[in-house]
């Protein structure tokens, strides 16, 4: 249960979340008090995760190629963040490790992943808690715009189908749901603390560095980025089902293209592409769940008709 919750958290708290850039993009200009934004975002995040779990149970999205561009965008965003943090050569090494982890050691890393997330969360808490301030928000975003941002934030972070699939192969549905609730609760707290501490008017592409630009903060950002990066590549690998003899070649080519597109810059990807992904995912979840419900009712009626005929 905890392992799955931590895997969900690690998939969400990548470069955008840990750096504060993603949170400021969606909530930084809100007029609504932070103590309302955080729980609402957490509740909606849990809601969209439940929609994903439901679709996974119905096997509605099985090997759905429409997610590949989204996983690739996340992979590109993480690569762009690494370029900013550790430079070109460091990023090449990180990409190589990502490929190796996906091919040889993803299952083994799940056990190590929980310690990694504990470390990242601990550093975030030590960085943001001393800077928490309970001031009234002064943004110019309307209430409607803020609620729209909550919805888009949930949509953006709802693409967890490979994790749900892996979870259901090992755990019960109840365990998966509890894991989602734990992950949403932790993320709700982190959103509150980060919104309460980060300067909403900063121009730093990694706003959290304004609070503490030291080794531990930089290391936590790097670990969060790297964790989300190999999970994004794992998602790509899961969906396309590459033959074993071609996996290294195909994943290497994907990484090369990610490195090229990362040239657009981390800030550009977060501010322009992430909201589009959020819109698409909300549309996908609503329409897919509606279709599943309609098909379920239709199948139920057909079953009843057959029973009546017999």
Tokens representing 11 are 């998939």
Q: Give pLDDT, residue 261.
A: 95
Q: How many angstroms separate the CA atoms of 77 and 72, rounded?
A: 9
The helix or strand, by DSSP H or E, that contains position 60, with its residue range, turns out to be none
Indicate the pTM of the whole model. Answer: 0.84
**Cα-based distances in Å from 15 to 21, 91, 263, 295:** 8, 14, 16, 39
Average the pLDDT over 84-95 and give the result: 92
Domain ranges across the chain: 2-309
Kindly report, residue by residue over 5-55, the tens digit of the pLDDT.
887 887 788 778 888 889 988 988 888 888 889 999 999 999 999 998 888
The helix or strand, by DSSP H or E, that contains position 1, with its residue range, turns out to be none
DSSP H helices in the chain: 2-12, 15-19, 21-27, 34-58, 68-100, 106-128, 143-156, 161-170, 173-197, 215-240, 247-261, 266-268, 274-309
Q: Give pLDDT, residue 112.
A: 65
Cα three-residue angle 63-67-68, rounded to 5 degrees: 90
Tokens representing 111 are 């056990």
Count, residues in the chain: 310
CB 99 within 8 A of CB 167: no
Q: Give pLDDT, residue 162.
A: 67
Over its C-alpha atoms, the chain yields an Rg (Å, rounded) of 20
Q: Give pLDDT, residue 260.
A: 95
């Amino acid at each position: 249960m905890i392992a799955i919750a931590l895997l969900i958290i690690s998939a969400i708290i990548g470069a955008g979340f840990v750096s504060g850039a993603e949170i400021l993009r969606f909530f930084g200009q809100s007029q609504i008090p932070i103590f309302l934004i955080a729980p609402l975002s957490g509740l909606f995040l849990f809601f969209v995760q439940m929609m994903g779990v439901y679709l996974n149970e119905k096997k509605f999205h099985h090997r759905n190629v429409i997610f590949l561009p989204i996983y690739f965008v996340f992979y590109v965003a993480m690569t762009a963040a690494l370029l900013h943090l550790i430079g070109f050569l460091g990023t090449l090494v990180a990409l190589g490790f990502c490929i190796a982890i996906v091919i040889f050691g993803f299952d083994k890393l799940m056990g190590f992943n929980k310690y990694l997330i504990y470390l990242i969360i601990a550093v975030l808490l030590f960085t943001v808690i001393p800077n928490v301030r309970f001031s009234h928000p002064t943004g110019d975003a309307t209430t409607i715009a803020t609620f729209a941002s909550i919805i888009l934030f949930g949509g953006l972070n709802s693409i967890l189908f490979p994790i749900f699939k892996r979870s259901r192969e090992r755990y019960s549905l109840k365990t998966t749901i509890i894991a989602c609730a734990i992950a949403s609760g932790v993320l709700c707290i982190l959103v509150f603390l980060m919104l309460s501490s980060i300067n909403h008017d900063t121009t730093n592409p990694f706003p959290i560095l304004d609070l503490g630009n030291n080794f531990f903060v930089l290391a936590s950002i790097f670990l969060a980025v790297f964790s989300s990066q190999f999970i994004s590549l794992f998602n790509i690998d899961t969906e396309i089902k590459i033959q074993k003899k071609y996996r290294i070649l195909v994943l290497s080519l994907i990484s090369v293209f990610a490195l090229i597109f990362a040239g657009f810059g981390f800030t550009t990807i977060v501010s322009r592409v992430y909201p589009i992904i959020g819109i698409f995912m909300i549309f996908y979840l609503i329409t897919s769940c509606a279709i599943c419900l309609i098909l379920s009712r239709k199948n139920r009626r057909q079953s009843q008709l057959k029973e009546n005929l017999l």
